[in-house]
Structure 1
Amino acid sequence: MAHFNFENMLNEVTKMDAPIQSGPMMRWQKKAAEAGQNHQNAWEENTWKRYSEQGTEFIPNRATTDMDLGHYAIMHDKEEEDSPSKAQYKQHLHDALNKGQNPQDAKVLSFKDKAPKAKEGHINNLKVLYSSGRVSSGPKATTTRQIPQQPDRILDAPELVDDYYLNLLDWSVNNHLAVALGGAVYLWNASSGTISQLCEMTSTDDYISGVSWIKEGNIIAIGTNSGNIQLWDAGQQKLVRTMTGHAARVASMSWNTYILSSGSRTGVIRHDDVRVADHAVAHLNNHSQEVCGLSWSPDGKLLASGGNDNVLNIWDTSLGDDSTPLHTFTHHQAAVKALAWCPWQPQLLASGGGTADRNIRIWNSATGTCLSATDTNSQVCSILWSKEYKELISGHGYSQNQLTIWKYPAMTKVADLTGHTARVLCLTMSPDGSTVASAAADETIRLWKCFAVDKTKSKSGPKPTKDTSSSLSLMNRGIR
């Protein structure tokens, strides 16, 4: 039994959160025993005294204490019936009943319910035991940036055709913004702010269904309702040539150096070599309805086409009438008009669906897989990738008619740019990548400076544009 007693004594010694049962009496206990007091009561009195010295007793909160009511509650037996405190207590009782307060809940003293909160920035050292953060080797990178919520400029666009399938806005490498208004094309010089009319349809029944600038130079392709494509030299404001062959309107076009790809309402995609007289070099037939979206990849190796048949096709550079798509995707549940290739990863393609779909999908064209799908809750009309940030911007219709900036690859919403009162139809980006222009059915064009260039990075001057005289001579060669 001796070893059990030793173990009990050892537990009592090592157990520091309880009084030791055996051992010499404390000094205050000896004095209490000599005075004939109970040990427990003396311990409680000593404990209260010790806690009081440490300042942990309850302190009355004078801000919420009713001193008059407390005085009456203590002294009412000694007060006369008509004393001032009696009348004052009645008034307090009346006020309490009117406010819905129970008079029985009134207290002589009022105390705070909870301990005061720690000051802002207070760090609990105990949490260090459960944290595993990495030590920063330098200043923390900025994760947010200021995005203006108001447009930098608003331009009037009267008679802008409210048609989801048309592409009526494009920005040239020479900083000229082209917009089709009804049967005419207007140019806005973003550098000087001047506006000029480039051309106008001769027939009142004909209208412009698409515009597309060449990658380098002043040549602009204009698709019409009759199925013709006109090539204009914007610098000289001169019609260079007219290419025929489509049986219906041409709403989508995209350049790949001297090859112009165009899609018509019949679902046919045509490749035209603008250097030669016999311009039609290939026809692609894999859409059953209107081709409303066309986009060549930045490296010029792949062509993405979207149609009103809810089909997205990716084509390679092999030209021929019997060509088949490299990939065919049927994931979208509505027309696929919004198409954009990633500028820093040419194999990445973003596509957006119409009202019945509302999804933005990211595709890997090398493997033919869908990397992500994001429900935007509204019609997607256009998509653009930022050249400065790993973000993309989309234009939408009902119900907010907004532009939305998304963070890639998480596809989390960065900001909504609102202001249009009708659905956004087209988006285009300035040559420096800092400004996005949006054309909407409210007949306005709004310029949003949402991708401003970071000033801390090294600045490089604008790339010199190529001389268009050689391209013009090539285009005129062989024309009869």
Structure 2
Amino acid sequence: MDAAGTWTSPIKFKSRSLFHHRKSSQENLDRFIPNRSAMDFSYAHYMLTEGRKNKEEPVVTSPSKEAYRKKLAEAFNMNRTRILAFKNKPPQPVEAIPSDFFSPSPPQSKSSKPRRHIPQSSERTLDAPDIEDDFYLNLLDWGSSNVLCIALGNIVYLWNASDSSTAELVTVNEEEGPITSVSWAPDGRHLAVGLNNSIVQLWDSTTSKLLRVLRGGHRGRVGSLAWNNHILSTGGMEGRVVNNDVRIRSHIVETYRGHNQEVCGLKWSPSGQQLASGGNDNLVHIWDRSRASSNSPTRWLHRFEEHVAAVKALAWCPFQGNLLASGGGGSDQCIKFWNTHTGACLNTINTGSQVCALLWSKSERELLSSHGFTQNQLTLWKYPSMLKMAELNGHTSRVLHMAQSPDGCTVASAAADETLRFWNVFGTPEASKPSPKRNREPFADFNRIR
């Protein structure tokens, strides 16, 4: 501080220009003169001299000097403790990441469905004595009237799911039997019964009366049946598929020739336009009714030769009309998916065991398969990923047959262990939509043409 009371900074700033070259040692260096208009030199001097002293140490000063210092502190707002300081408090720290942030399964949205519980055991088990242990037969069906039929040897039994009552519909003699196939008509009242002696019987389940006998279509046992309104398709041991119009006297209206061994699987598409047949010759054929009026009505639309064992299991997809699932026997063990419009194989999966039957869920994109050796299980698959959703165990022999309840929720399975089991595999029934009106009396002329 000079005599006039002006404080002079003891710090001198010097800088050498990068672009100025010194000519001689006598010349002065360029000086960098900073802009001091924004500097508070009095406050800086105070902090350098007095401010950093330890406040706890007692300092002996005169009253006049202490009064001067107090006035100086008030003038320079000496409640500040640092030259450089934040004027605002720093923000609060962000809350820690929740512990379940990295959970492998994200929380379900309100619109997503809760995961359905699939019971691992059957809800009911009934005896099925004398059921034929034959892979190529079809001895179980569940009608639209909620009545299940099963053929045990030479007898057809009816089990009413509404009241759990049981009745015997028909007993055939030894020359005709055993019974080789059964199938309910769409009305849930009339039942077709295929026999070992090549004939097919049509029964009225409400009156227990034989309405008609269909002859002449086959030379051996009739192991497979499929309804398409008033058309009953039958598959025989000789390899033929016959379409029978049950309303007329000359019932044989079409004959399909493509298999050279027994036809063990028959299923009509939901539209009623295409018929799928599987045989012991490892073949699957697709027959189209629109070709029946052409010059070659018995020519197949598609022939699938990829299976390497008998194909009995066939199932049309309910939500995609041109999608067919087929399952191969013990040497094949595969489920294959077909586009029946193009004839392309969409996917194949090896199940590891004989595929005996297939059923699609009516409400979910799921497929149920039944199997033989080694586990004799039912397997529920998610389509199209084909991930296993559940395996249902209980049968001790191969599960030869499956049938689905009218509401689509319960599945009945019949096995060579002579048991009939019921599984709640497809969930609780939802409010069903009204079904379109169909011809409920396809047998109106039966008594007249018998």
CA distance in 1, matches of 2:433, 2:113: 26
Task: Tell me whether 1:294 sits opposite 2:263 in the alignment.
Answer: no
| 1:452 positional shift | 1.7
Written as runs of structure 1 = structure 2, the 5 A alignment for 1:89-238 is 121=99, 123=101, 138-139=109-110, 141-142=112-113, 144-203=115-174, 206-238=177-209
TM-score, normalising length: structure 2: 0.74
CA distance in 2, matches of 1:366, 1:344: 15
Deviations 1:365-388 (A, max 9, x none): 111101110100000000000001
More helix by share: 1
Note the C-alpha offset of 1:461. 7.1
Unaligned runs of 5+ in 2: 1-16, 19-95
Map of 1:22 onto structure 2? none
1:381 is matched with which residue?
356
Q: 1:123 to 1:180 in 2, by over 3 A?
A: closer
Give the TM-score normalised by structure 1: 0.70
- Which residue does 2:279 correspond to in 1? 307
AA of the residue aligned to 1:278: S
User: Which of the two has higher C-alpha Rg?
Assistant: 2
Q: Secondary structure at the match of 2:446?
A: helix
Moved over 4 A (4+): 461-468
Q: Aligned partners of 1:326 and 1:169: how far apart in 2? A: 29
Compute the displacement of 1:453 (Å). 2.9
Q: 1:398 to 1:472 in 2, by over 3 A?
A: same
Aligned CA RMSD, in angstroms, stands at: 2.7
- Find the partner of 1:252 among 216, 219, 224: 224
Question: Offset at 1:289?
Answer: 0.2
Query: How do 1:62-101 residues align onto structure 2 when only pairs under 5 Å count?
Result: none
CA shift in 2, pair 1:266/1:146, >3 Å: same
The aligned amino acid for 2:254 is: A
1:391 and 1:369 map into 2 onto residues whose CA distance is: 21
Contact 1:217 1:466 in 2 (8 A): no
Offset at 1:471? Answer: 2.7
Using the alignment, how far apart are the partners of 1:205 and 1:224 within structure 2? Answer: 6
Q: Letter of the aligned partner of 1:280 in structure 2?
A: I
Shift of 1:464: 9.6
Is contact 1:217–1:467 with CA below 8 Å preserved after alignment? no
Corresponding residue of 1:19: none
Residue identity opposite 1:201 in structure 2: V
Percent identity between matched residues is: 49
User: What secondary structure does 1:473 align onto?
Assistant: coil
Q: Kindly indicate whether the alpha-carbon contact (under 8 Å) linking 1:350 and 1:361 is maintained by their aligned counterparts in 2.
A: yes
The letter for the 1-side match of 2:112 is: A
1:67 alignment counterpart: none
Residue 364 of structure 1: which of 333, 339, 358 is its match?
339
CA contact (8 A) 2:175 2:197 kept: no
CA distance in 1, matches of 2:234, 2:328: 20
Deviation at 1:319, TM superposition (A): 3.0
| d(CA) in 1 for partners of 2:381, 2:129 | 30
The residue type equivalent to 2:143 in the other structure is S
Deviations 1:13-61 (A, max 9, x none): xxxxxxxxxxxxxxxxxxxxxxxxxxxxxxxxxxxxxxxxxxxxxxxxx
Q: How does 1:304-453 map to 2 (within 5 A)?
A: 304-317=276-289, 318-319=291-292, 322-453=297-428
2: CA distance between counterparts of 1:475 and 1:290?
Answer: 29
The answer as to whether partners of 1:388 and 1:453 remain within 8 angstroms in 2 is no
Q: Unpaired segments of 5 or more residues in structure 1?
A: 4-117, 128-132
Q: Would the alpha carbon gap of residues 140 and 307 (structure 1) be closer, same or farther in structure 2, given more than 3 Å must change?
A: same
Does the Cα contact within 8 Å between 1:216 and 1:465 map onto a contact in 2?
no
Alpha-carbon spacing, 1:279–1:123, altered in 2? closer, same or farther (3 Å): closer
C-alpha contact 2:356 2:400 (8 A) present in aligned 1: yes
